[in-house]
């Protein structure tokens, strides 16, 4: 997945480039300053929010990069790495 942004009819949207899904950024006012919020269920189970659109977009990109860097391990790979870490932490 990769995200970009676009302004459509004076509203900011984050767009998932591969599927073209659009996620509207909501702007709410809280004690005199704006809060930018977006919910992207494929990316995060929670609503992401920031003080400005740039900060919010950077957070979306950061989460997306972490998810892209995550590689699932087979059960054998996990057991092997766990045993190595265990031996390193508690040498006999």
* pLDDT tens string 65-76: 887 777 677 888
Residue 91 pLDDT greater than 80, yes or no: no
* pLDDT tens string 31-66: 888 899 999 998 889 999 999 999 999 999 898 888
In whole angstroms, give the CA distance from residue 51 to residue 36.
6
* Structural domain boundaries enclosing 55: 3-89
Contacts 24+ apart (CB under 8 A), 72-79: none
Q: Quick one: tokens of 3?
A: 């995200």
Residue 88 pLDDT greater than 80, yes or no: no
60 CB-near residues (< 8 Å, 6+ apart) = 3, 14, 38, 40, 43, 48
- Count up the domains in the chain and report the number: 1
Q: For the whole model, what pTM was predicted?
A: 0.66
Could you tell me the pLDDT band of residue 89, with boundaries at 50, 70 and 90? confident
């Amino acid at each position: 997945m990769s995200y970009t942004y676009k302004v459509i009819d004076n509203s900011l949207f984050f767009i998932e480039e591969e599927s073209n899904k659009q996620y509207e950024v909501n702007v709410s006012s809280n004690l005199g300053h704006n809060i930018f919020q977006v919910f992207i269920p494929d990316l995060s189970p929670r609503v992401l929010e920031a003080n400005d659109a740039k900060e919010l977009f950077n957070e979306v990109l950061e989460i997306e990069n972490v998810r892209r860097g995550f590689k699932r391990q087979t059960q054998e790979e996990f057991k092997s790495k766990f045993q190595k870490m265990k031996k390193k932490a508690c040498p006999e």
